Chains A and B, each alone.
Chain A
Amino acid sequence: MSVLVFADSSEGKFKKTAFEVVSYGKKVAENLGSDMLVLTINGGDASELYAYGAEKVIEVKNDLASFNAKAYASVIKQVAEAKAVNTVIIDSSIDGFTVAPLVAVALEAGYASNVVALPSSTTPFVVKRKAFSNKGFNNTEISTENKVVGVAKNSYGAHENAVNGSIENFDATLPELGVKSENISKATGVVTIADADIVVSAGRGMKGPENWGMIEELAGVLGAATACSKPVSDLGWRPHGEHVGQTGKPVASNLYIAIGISGAIQHLAGINASKVKVVINTDPEAPFFKAADYGIVGDAFEVVPQLIEKLKAFKQA
């Protein structure tokens, strides 16, 4: 039996999470003593997947201009059945979270999402999942023959492991789509919160939307995405798409810099999957300091310009 990894892409480019699931799937297949197949649907250049250990890439090409839940689930099912797959691995992009439950039902598979580590055992098949907004983990056994594993973003990580790969074209039929894409609007030329290694986030401590220039400049120097706290988006200082925290966007970046954010529990619930957290706040009693790795007690209007200047020098050095 084989392990099938779905490598998600958007507009013909693989998502960062695609390389993470390929890295993960490679190890799972090794642990199970089976082989790994990597499925792409209108995906990118397969050689990018070879760099992470994909030896067998199955390419499905069709007329779909963008993701469709029923169609993708159907394609994954067809490939799984044709190739005697019993373990399907899917990323934690929004598309991944959308298609995985459909795949689980289609394959009568037990499904564990938010998985943060390799299976601690393969018989029984047990994986560690994050839960309770990162305040706990549960070790979950999948007891069915077929299994779907959803790998949490930026947890296992992408690990380069170059191999000689090959491509197989696979003809899949498409079901009735049910949901039709009308148009997609994406900001261009900015780092998205979903993809960012570094997120620079600011709160009410910035005093007003006119002061966000320095936040954007700091993000620019670091190649980071900009984000904000809930009060800031509620006040209309920043667009809702930048709101991070519970009910906003989740963040699982390598570095999260919080400027003028006190650290309400709802905010922390959404960002505490980030690996390193830096807090800049005038109030030494701000609850965020308890959740942070590094902090500066100080006025953002003094600290941030200094940080921009010193980081520019650091980047040039």
Chain B
Amino acid sequence: MKILVCISHVPDTTSKINFTDNNTEFDTNGVQYVINPYDEFSLTRAMWFKEKQGASVTVVNVGGASTEPTLRKALAIGADNAIRVNVAPTDGLMVAKELAEVVKNGGYDLVLAGKESADYNGQMVPGMLASLLGFNFVNACVGLEIDGTAVSLSREVDGGEEKVSSVLPIVVAGQKGMVEEKDLRIPNMRGIMMARKKPLSVVEATGANASTSTKNFEKPVEKGAVKLVDNVDALIDLLHNEAKVI
């Protein structure tokens, strides 16, 4: 089985979010970048398939050279090789088109991604990728098993879970539950050393066009200070008369 895991390179959750150039650019100053937390579930599950069932695992990112440390980290976790599509991502459809090209050229039969990226939270790329490729698609996956070409999955639905079955090739957008958070892999020293020698290939983009563009960014309106009260009567009064939520 050939597995491709799509890795987003995102600001760490603790990052301060600021904008520059008249609010048209995200301010990367002082921002620490990490593997998208949602992608870690998919990457860890891919490692499980590699070790238990035999599979090759490739990781891919669409981005500039600055994303390579994030790909190296995925290699240190255990992926066999990495591909960087050398273009700045501008919207979901453009990224999905570039990834589709990678999937076609590499002949992958299982494509894993995170349900969303922790920066733009768009939740678009996996579904678009499946659609462009004509692959099956399961979103919000919380359980994934493969037997030959048969795929059995659990996915989150509003208020519960659904068991579904499908076949390869498939795109799966994973989240917590696909593996438990305590089982997420982190790089160890040996992995980090080995990752330096693993192949990271840079491919040029096909030049897919974006269909949306960011005009500018806004920060949320500053919230007022918390109103502290010392008894529940005052709280109920505020929730009823001021906030009007009960």
Binding site for B on A (CB under 8 A): 10, 15, 66-67, 69-70, 73, 93-95, 97-102, 104-106, 109-114, 126, 128, 130-144, 178-187, 192, 194-195, 197-198, 222, 230, 234, 240-241, 243, 246-248, 254-255, 265-266, 269, 275-276, 278-279, 289-298, 303, 306-307, 310-311, 314
A143: nearest chain-B partner, CB-CB: B211
B136: nearest chain-A partner, CB-CB: A178
Which A residues lie within 8 Å of B108 (CB)? Answer: none
Which A residues lie within 8 Å of B127 (CB)? Answer: 69, 98-102, 105
* Contacts known (A111-B212, A112-B212, A132-B17); A105 close to B93, Cβ less than 8 A: yes
Which B residues lie within 8 Å of A195 (CB)? Answer: 158-159
In chain B, residues 147-174, which have Cβ atoms closer than 8 Å to a Cβ of chain A? 152, 155-167
Alpha-carbon distance A275/B138, docked complex (angstroms)? 31
Q: How far is the CB of A291 from chain B (nearest CB, A)?
A: 7
Other than the known A182-B163, A247-B38, what 4 A-B pairs have Cβ atoms closer than 8 Å?
A: A67-B157, A134-B220, A247-B41, A295-B229
Q: How far is the CB of A106 from chain B (nearest CB, A)?
A: 7
* Contacts known (A93-B158, A295-B228); A179 close to B138, Cβ less than 8 A: yes
17 cross-chain CB contacts under 8 A: A10-B158, A97-B123, A98-B137, A112-B212, A113-B123, A114-B122, A136-B220, A137-B218, A138-B214, A182-B152, A184-B161, A279-B226, A294-B228, A294-B239, A296-B235, A297-B230, A303-B232
- Is B131 a contact partner of A126 (Cβ separation < 8 A)? no
Q: How far is the CB of A98 from chain B (nearest CB, A)?
A: 4
* Contacts known (A255-B239, A293-B243); A102 close to B230, Cβ less than 8 A: no
Alpha-carbon distance A198/B245, docked complex (angstroms)? 8
* Contacts known (A101-B127, A247-B181, A255-B245); A126 close to B215, Cβ less than 8 A: yes
Which A residues lie within 8 Å of B38 (CB)? Answer: 247
Q: How far is the CB of B128 from chain A (nearest CB, A)?
A: 4
* Contacts known (A94-B158, A246-B13); A278 close to B235, Cβ less than 8 A: yes
Alpha-carbon distance A86/B29, docked complex (angstroms)? 40
Partner of B236, one of A110, A131, A311: A311
Q: Does B126 contact A (CB under 8 A)?
A: yes
Query: Quick check: which of B46-54, B74-82, B113-121 contacts chain A, the rest being far away?
Result: B113-121
B133: nearest chain-A partner, CB-CB: A105
Which A residues lie within 8 Å of B111 (CB)? Answer: none
Interface size class on chain B is: 35 or more
Which A residues lie within 8 Å of B162 (CB)? Answer: 66, 181-185
- Is A111 a contact partner of B92 (Cβ separation < 8 A)? yes
- Is B164 a contact partner of A73 (Cβ separation < 8 A)? no
B233: nearest chain-A partner, CB-CB: A310
Q: Does B132 contact A (CB under 8 A)?
A: yes
Q: How far is the CB of B230 from chain A (nearest CB, A)?
A: 7
Interface centre among B41, B211, B224 (most CB of A within 10 A): B211
Q: How far is the CB of A36 from chain B (nearest CB, A)?
A: 22
Q: Does B105 contact A (CB under 8 A)?
A: no
Partner of B17, one of A105, A136, A289: A136
- Is A240 a contact partner of B176 (Cβ separation < 8 A)? yes
Alpha-carbon distance A28/B190, docked complex (angstroms)? 56
Which A residues lie within 8 Å of B17 (CB)? Answer: 132, 135-136
Which B residues lie within 8 Å of A293 (CB)? Answer: 223-224, 226-227, 243
B161: nearest chain-A partner, CB-CB: A185
* Contacts known (A131-B119, A222-B246); A294 close to B92, Cβ less than 8 A: no
Q: Does B146 contact A (CB under 8 A)?
A: no
Partner of B157, one of A186, A222, A295: A186
Q: Does B182 contact A (CB under 8 A)?
A: yes
Q: Does B71 contact A (CB under 8 A)?
A: no
B219: nearest chain-A partner, CB-CB: A136
Q: How far is the CB of A148 from chain B (nearest CB, A)?
A: 9
